[in-house]
């Protein structure tokens, strides 16, 4: 069994919907973690929890309107095409949604720079901009991952070191990063438990026990990481699964309601409408 602890970035990438095409896994906090992913054409808003690693999202193909906001804030929209990028320093959770144009797959590359590589350097947020130097470096990493030969870890790490230097001298800001919230491996453990019990009542005590914290402390640090209380986040996960079932299956709505923990179709419909603005049948 591989006992190498996973980075927080690796934990959270499993939560974001999408098809993994290829990846380069980090081995330590001084390594880079890279994934190439095909995203859904339309994605309703999801919460991207805060993690310590700076994240670059580089658009490989497709055209999309990507919107982001702090939870409950105002949406900021950017129309992006291949070569555009986002830089997220992830000191607080972010809500995101997108709508890609048909005709071309919407594929992206996510690059998490290990915290040890950045030495706690604070970076400014970037949304839908272009940077030719950054694109050139990222293109080398992408080519190495998708080429005919076996990817070279030293090569990818060397490019990542150059990338970290470029980020530091181009996007550095004079500020201190304030990191709080639940440790990544504990948050990932809680997410897994929530997903496994969507049809069951929410149990705060069980979630707090998984995080090895009191209920009060767990609730506080969970909200620091996600922007929502544990119970509200659980409901949000239920509604995400309901949207998926309505979109991807022909299951009766009453069956979907039961699958996400609602014995009353009317209660399910009321909660669904509150979160999406429409009834389950209209959404379908």
Q: What DSSP string describes 204-259?
A: HHHHHHHTTS-HHHHHHHHHHHHSS-HHHHHHHHHHHHHHHHHHH----HHHHHHH
Say how far apart CA 233 and CA 46 lie, in whole Å: 11
Where is mean pLDDT largest: 46-55, 68-77, 275-284?
Answer: 275-284
Least confident of 13-17, 52-56, 98-102, 112-116: 13-17
Least confident of 25-29, 211-215, 233-237: 25-29
Say how far apart CA 155 and CA 160 lie, in whole Å: 9
Say how far apart CA 274 and CA 277 lie, in whole Å: 6
In sequence order, the 6+-apart residues with CB closer than 8 A to the CB of 243 are 44, 276, 283
Please determine, for residue 2, whether its predicted confidence score (pLDDT) is greater than 50: no
Confidence band, pLDDT 50/70/90 cuts, at residue 1: very low
List, for residues 231-281, the tens digit of each pLDDT value: 999 998 899 899 989 888 888 999 999 999 989 989 998 988 988 888 999
Please determine, for residue 6, whether its predicted confidence score (pLDDT) is greater than 80: no
Query: What are the b/e assignments for 239-268, b being 16+ CB within 10 Å?
Result: bbbbbebbeeeeeebeebbbbbbbeebeeb
Domains of the chain with CATH codes: 8-171 (2.60.120.810), 184-283 (1.10.10.60)
Q: Could you tell me the pTM of the whole model?
A: 0.66
Confidence band, pLDDT 50/70/90 cuts, at residue 148: confident
């Amino acid at each position: 069994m591989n006992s190498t602890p996973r980075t927080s970035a690796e934990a959270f990438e499993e939560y974001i919907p999408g098809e993994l095409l290829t990846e380069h896994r980090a081995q330590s906090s001084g390594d880079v973690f890279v994934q190439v992913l095909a995203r859904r054409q339309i994605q309703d808003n999801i919460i991207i929890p805060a993690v310590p690693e700076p994240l670059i999202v580089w658009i490989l193909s497709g055209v999309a309107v990507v919107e982001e906001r702090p939870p409950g804030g105002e949406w900021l929209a950017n129309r992006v095409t291949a070569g555009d990028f986002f830089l997220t320093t992830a000191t607080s959770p972010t809500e995101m949604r997108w709508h890609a144009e048909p005709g071309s797959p919407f594929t992206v590359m996510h690059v998490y720079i290990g915290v040890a590589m950045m030495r706690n350097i604070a970076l400014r947020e970037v949304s839908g901009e272009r940077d030719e130097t950054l694109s050139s470096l990222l293109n080398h990493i992408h080519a190495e991952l998708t080429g005919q030969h076996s990817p070279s870890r030293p090569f990818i790490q060397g490019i990542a070191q150059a990338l970290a230097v470029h980020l530091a001298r181009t996007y550095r800001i004079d500020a201190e990063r304030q990191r709080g919230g639940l440790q990544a491996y504990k948050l990932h453990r809680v997410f897994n438990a929530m997903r496994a019990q969507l049809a069951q009542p929410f149990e705060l005590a069980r979630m707090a026990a998984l995080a090895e914290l009191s209920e009060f402390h767990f609730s506080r640090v969970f909200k620091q990481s996600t922007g929502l209380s544990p119970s509200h986040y659980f409901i949000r996960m239920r509604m995400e699964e309901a949207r998926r079932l309505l979109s991807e299956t022909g299951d009766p709505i009453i069956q979907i309601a039961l699958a996400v923990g609602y014995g009353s179709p009317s209660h399910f419909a009321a909660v669904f409408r509150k979160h999406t603005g429409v009834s389950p049948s209209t959404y379908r």
